[in-house]
Structure formats: C-alpha cells, structure tokens
Amino acid sequence: MTAQPATVATPGTTVARGRVDPIHVAAAVLITASVLWRASITTRGFLTADDFPLVAQADAGGPHPDHLFSLYNNHLMPAARLLTWVTHRLTEYEYWPYATLMLIGQVAVSVAFYRLLRLLLPTTWALLVPLCLFVFNPLTLEVTAWWAVGINLLPMQLAMIVAIGAQVRYLRTGRRRHLVTLGASVVVALLFFEKALLVVAAVFLLTLCLYAPGGPVRAVLTTVRRWWPAWLVLTGISVAYLAGYLSVSASSLRAPVSAAEVGTFLQQFYGQSLPAGLVGGPWTWLDGADGPALVAPTRPAQWASWAMVAAFAGFTVWLRRRVAVRAWLLLALYSGLGAGLIGVTRLGSGFSGVAGLVPRYLGDVLLVAALCVGVALCGLRRGEPDTSELDAAGPDGAGPEGAEPEGAAGPVPLRARPQRFVTALAVGLVLLLGSSVHSGVDFGTDWRDKAGRDYLNTARTDLATAEPGTVFMDQPVPERVVPGLSHPWNLQSRFFAPLDDDPVFVTRARRLWVFDDAGHVRPAWVKGVRAERGPAPGCGYQVRVDRPARIPLESTVVDYWQVVRIGYLSDRDTVATFRLGDGETVPFDVHRGLNAMFLLVSGGGDEVQLAVSDPAASLCTDEIEIGALVPQPVG
C-alpha cells in the first residue's frame, strides 16, 4: 500500500480530515484569553445598585408567577428573575455564583459568535479581527461584571447570534426548520429582556443589507416577498409579546427637554462611545460611583478614534466596494435604531446628561458592529442566493479574496496577498488587543471599589458579635449602596432580608441600634426638633392620668413619619400614649425608673401630647426629640 503524503494545515490550504484547523486553535486561544481577562476584572467587584433589589425581591417573592412576571423599572424579565432566585438560593449575598454565570454566558456568546463568523465569512485569518473586536471590547465589560446588566444583555446577545445564524441558513437552504430556531431564539431572549425585540430588527436589516440584491426599493421588495415566512414568524412573536407587555407596563417614552439635549446625546453616542468602541477604547473613564464607569475619552482620543474608523471604512470600501458599503449601512441603520430607542426612553430624565456615555446601551450595537466590520473586511461567503451581485471585486478586479464555496470542508487556497497586507493585519490585531487591555485597566480599578460590598460585610461582622436583643428601626441604606429611586427596596429591612441571620426591625424599643454609613452597629440617637424645657424644676413636664401634658416644640415638624426619643422618669410601670400634632396616638410601655423609649410615629405640628393610663402613676420628662435616627454621639 502506498503511503499518502500528509497535508500541512496552514491558512489557505485545505485541512485534511481529522486535522486541527489552525484558525479554530487561534480563535479558541483568543476566546479563552478574553474570558480570563474579563474574569480578572469581574471578580474584583461585587453586586451593586439594582442587584440588591433584584436579589431581595427574589428572596421575598420566590419562584411564583406574581414575582416572576412583575416589572422591575418597567422591565419584564421572568427568566432573569427566576435565574436570580435560583442563584440566590445557593448562597446569600455571595458574588461568585453571579460572576460565574456571567462568565459562562460570555463563553457561550463568544463561541457562538465565532461560529457565526465562520458561517458568514470566508475562512481566513482576517475573521479574527471581528472576533477580537467583539470578545475583547472594553465597552462590554459591564455586561460580564454587573449582574443586573448581564442577565439582560447576555441572553439577548446570544439570541441575536443564534437568530442571525438561523436566518442565514434559511436564506441559503429555504428549509423551514431554521425558522423554528429563529423564532425560538427570539422568544427565549424576550423572557430575559424586552429590548430583545431589536433582535427582530437586526435579522431584518441584515437580510436587507447583505442578502437582498439591487437598489433600495428592489432590495426591500425582495426581502419582504422572498423571505416572507421569516417575517411572518417574527411579526407574530413581536405582536403577541407587545400585546402582553403593554398591557402590564407603563409607558417609558419621554420627550427631550430641548434640541441641545438631543445634540449632546448624539455627540456622546456617535462622537465618543461608538467610535471608541470600534477601536478598543475609550482609554479613559468617568467614575460611576458604586456602578460601572462611564465612557469618557479625551478630545484628542475622540478625534483619533474617528480618524481610525474613517480610514478603516475607506479601506474596506476600496477593497470590497458594494458589500462593504452595505455592511457600513447596516451598522448605521441598526445603531440609529439603538440610539433612537435610548433617546425616546432616557432623554428628558435626570440621567439624560450622560445617556450617550453608558456602555451597556451599546451592548447589542457593538455585536452588530463587529459583524459589519467582518463583512466589510472579509466579504461574504460565496454560494448564497444572489450574493454574486454583492460580492465586491478586489483591488485587481478579480473578485473578493478568500471566498469559500458553500459546504467546503475547510480553508481553500487563497490568492497570494501582499506581505504588507498580512503585516498590517497582524499589527492591527496587536494594536486592537493592546488598546482594549489598556482600556480595561481603569475600568477594573473603578469596578473594584464597591460601597455595597463594604457596607454589607461590615454589617454582617458587627451583627455576628452584637449582644442578644439588638434591634433596629427601618431606615434607608446609604444612597451610594442602593439609590433612593429603588424605594422601598433601599430600606435596610429589604436590603438585609436575604441574609439567613438578618437583623430584627421594630417600631418601638427601649434600647435601639442603628447602622452607620459604613455599616457598623451603633447605639441609636435622634437628631431633630426638641421639645421646649418644662416648667417643673427637676421634672420638666409631669404627666398624670388626670393631667396629660401638651408639650410645645421648639419648631414645627413636617407631617410625615418621624422617630421620637422620649427620656423619662417614672415611679412605676404603666402604659403611656404619645401623639404628634394631629397624628395617630401611639401607646408604649413605661418602666419604673430612669428610661428612654424610641417610637416610630406619623404626624406633624408644633406640639406633642403625652398621657399615662395608671391613675397612681407619675411620669416626668424634659427630654423629647423628634427627627432622624443617627448614631449616638460619643462622649
């Protein structure tokens, strides 16, 4: 038997059966490196902001439909709520389960994205450019660090990849089974995030821009007529979902305050965030308090990023002509759709000043951008219906280089490229990776500082050593831990509820403790409006059953919930009542001797009323203060 010569697996040659494709190996190394890079940043942080209310709601609501299908900030995400509840059941407020799930999700998204590139593009080394642009993009670090963002966007990104892949296979084969995958991916994504409706738009625009021949009118008509079964499936899903979502949600639409507000947003979105994201930026960030940082490239960096994007776009148009133009048109259309959605839901609010600098708003746009970069640089694989009209000629007029026929087993021979092109490709990849890693440094530094983690850990440590009977009165946690916009889920009783040994909260107590801003357990005090000094020497105001006291305050108290501290001296145990202005009368136990009582009351006015129920009892007080709970002063 004659021995067959071995086939060398090099780029541009057919890979023998059983041999490893070197591009697969390179892609696997890059994906692994990107996940490790993300893990090194993610694990520095902790849960933050919206994460705490989501976990607290999961703890309170459990896997019941009323909880799963309730809205959070007008977001309908039953699958995200269910996954949060399951994860919370593993540990209390530990971060590692959430971080692990996000990184696993990133692995799935990265592998699926590479497979999509292999499906869409010729199999050449150049497809590593869009792969690196997506998996190493610093503007998507938030997606794998912040649970409230990752649980929405990672399923949406994965669904967009799967849906586009299913649509491309349907376009090539006409087999209806691919429509099942297409519809299922959208349905699953919608269970995590209502914004996943944009997957439908992405599929339509990609089909229109990359697979429908002719001018604008002809392309639209061809897209609608030829592939109408796909639009029937997606339209049916979209209409059914919108009918359900709109029936339970309030409108999120807002009107911009002014044209200047719109201009600022567009400058941020298109002048700073998107171009920086296309070249591994933004290099510098704006501190996001306890949340992730915001995009903040310097003015020279903005101009440099735009110059690089313009130069690359011009090069690809020269290289690929029509297909590159269509790819950039796809990016323009989808990014415009994304920017428009942000504009009508975020402008006109207190956050509109930085709406265009929030990285998570570009999580889906950057996925489409990476695909468009790949198509513009590499061209489309040959063999799809009517793509011959879209395949741009190379610079020598001989057609796109590296095109691969449908069904090929591996890479096919490439026309010899100039050495300078190969060198430029390698240098470009190195610069892109270096730029991304550099941008990730400051992001990771900002993400490492977590007020919520420090507050929680300090509180848990102090609670573990607190004396028996330590009780608290419910107050908001610090604004930097959970914003007041999340009320009532920013209250300490909700914040600590997911702990197995959560603190006890009361509305009245003889001895009371508070959490200070750092989370330490401290004896409580009240700071606010005092009662005027009483007339009786050594007693202040004497209260008997036949002589209840009306005690004037030094100033008027606003009608709302207040905390009262009453210091008193009583000759016996009895029951007293307290009333602030015209508010509700609150009873409390009086104990013999010198004591104090903390009460949570509702009311307002410029006087209080104090009475006792025992005819034989006599109570003296000259120490009443109404206001906010604070730690007891030292000394």
With beta carbons less than 8 A apart as the criterion, state whether 113 and 367 touch. Answer: yes
**Residue found by looking up tokens 């999580």 in the block:** 363
In eight-state DSSP terms, residue 210 is: H
- pLDDT per residue over 558-617, tens digit each? 999 999 999 999 999 999 999 999 888 999 999 999 999 999 999 999 999 999 999 989
Whether 82 is in a domain gets the answer: no
Question: What pLDDT shows up at residue 418?
Answer: 63
Say how far apart CA 1 and CA 73 lie, in whole Å: 72
Q: Examine the domain organization and report whether 427 and 533 are in the same domain.
A: no
Mean pLDDT of the region 228-237:
97
Spatial separation of the C-alpha atoms in residues 371 and 116, rounded to whole Å: 9
- Residue-number span of the structural domain to which 613 is assigned: 526-631
Confidence of residue 529 (pLDDT cuts 50, 70, 90): very high
Transcribe 517-545 into DSSP letters: TTS-EEEEEEEEEEBPPPSBTTTBEEEBT
Q: Which of 430, 448, 466 is at the close of a domain?
A: 448
> Does residue 532 sit in the same domain as residue 441?
no
Give me the mean pLDDT over the 344-361 stretch.
86
Structure token digits, residue 389: 């009209």
Residues 110, 367 contacting (CB under 8 angstroms): no
| Residue 495 domain-assigned (yes or no) | no
Q: Which of residues 557 and 19 earns the better pLDDT score? A: 557
Residue 119 and residue 136: Cα distance in Å, rounded? 21
Tokens of 551: 């005690």
* One domain for residues 406 and 549: no
Alpha carbon distance 585, 377 (integer Å): 76
CA dihedral sign of residues 25, 27, 32, 36: positive
Burial environment of residue 616 by CB neighbours within 10 A (0 to 12, 13 to 18, 19 or more): exposed
User: Would you state the pLDDT for residue 210?
Assistant: 95
The pTM of the full predicted model, rounded to 2 decimals, is 0.88
Computed over every residue of the chain, the mean pLDDT equals 89
Mean pLDDT calculated for residue range 152-181: 96
Structure tokens at 124: 């050449």
pLDDT of residue 292: 86
Element (H, E) at 504: strand 504-505
For residues 145 and 285, state if they share a domain: yes
Cβ neighbours of residue 197 closer than 8 Å, sequence gap 6 or more: 190, 238, 241, 242
- Banded pLDDT at 417 (limits 50, 70, 90): low
pLDDT value of position 17: 59
259-297 per-position pLDDT tens digit: 888 999 999 999 999 999 999 999 999 988 788 899 999
- Whether residue 104 has pLDDT greater than 90: yes
Say what the pLDDT of residue 546 is.
85
Same domain, 443 and 572: no
Give the C-alpha distances (Å, rounded to integers) separating 513 from 130, 405, 469, 470, 592: 56, 74, 10, 7, 22
Would residue 162 count as lying in a domain?
yes
Q: Residue 343, CB half-sphere, CA atoms under 13 Å: how many?
A: 21
Question: Is the same domain home to 310 and 444?
Answer: yes
Instruction: Kindly state whether residue 53 falls inside one of the protein's structural domains.
Output: no
- Does the pLDDT at position 402 exceed 60? no
Is the residue at 79 inside a domain? no
Q: Are residues 134 and 257 in the same domain?
A: yes
Assess whether 106 and 243 both reside in one domain: yes
In this prediction, residues 240-245 reach a mean pLDDT of: 94
In a domain, 500, yes or no: no
User: What's the domain count of the chain?
Assistant: 2
Structural domain ending residue among the three candidates 426, 448, 470: 448
Give the least confident one: 81-95, 419-433, 516-530.
Answer: 419-433
Q: Are residues 416 and 555 in the same domain?
A: no
Quick one: pLDDT at residue 16? 52
Q: Is the pLDDT score of 403 beyond 60?
A: no
pLDDT above 50 (res 8): no
Separation between Cα atoms, residue 265 and residue 354, nearest integer Å: 7
Domain edge (last residue) among 384, 417, 448: 448
Residue 300 shares a structural domain with residue 412: yes
Is residue 434 located within the same domain as residue 563? no
Q: Are residues 220 and 340 part of one domain?
A: yes
> In the prediction, which pLDDT does 455 show?
96
Q: Has residue 54 been placed in a domain?
A: no
> What are 526's strand-pairing partners?
629
Q: Flag whether 14 is in a domain.
A: no
The partner residues of 281 in beta bridges, in order of sequence, read none
Q: Report CA-CA distances (Å) from 388 to 118, 209, 549.
A: 19, 14, 94
Instruction: Using alpha carbons, select from 523, 621, 511 the residue that is nearest to residue 576.
Output: 621
3-state secondary structure of 29: helix
Q: Which two tokens stand for residue 39?
A: 């893990």
Work out the pLDDT band at 211, boundaries 50, 70, 90.
Answer: very high
- Phi, psi angles (nearest 5°) of residue 369: -60, -45
Q: What is the CATH number of the domain that holds 534?
A: 2.60.120.260
Residues 6 or more apart from 502 whose CB is under 8 A from it? Answer: 496
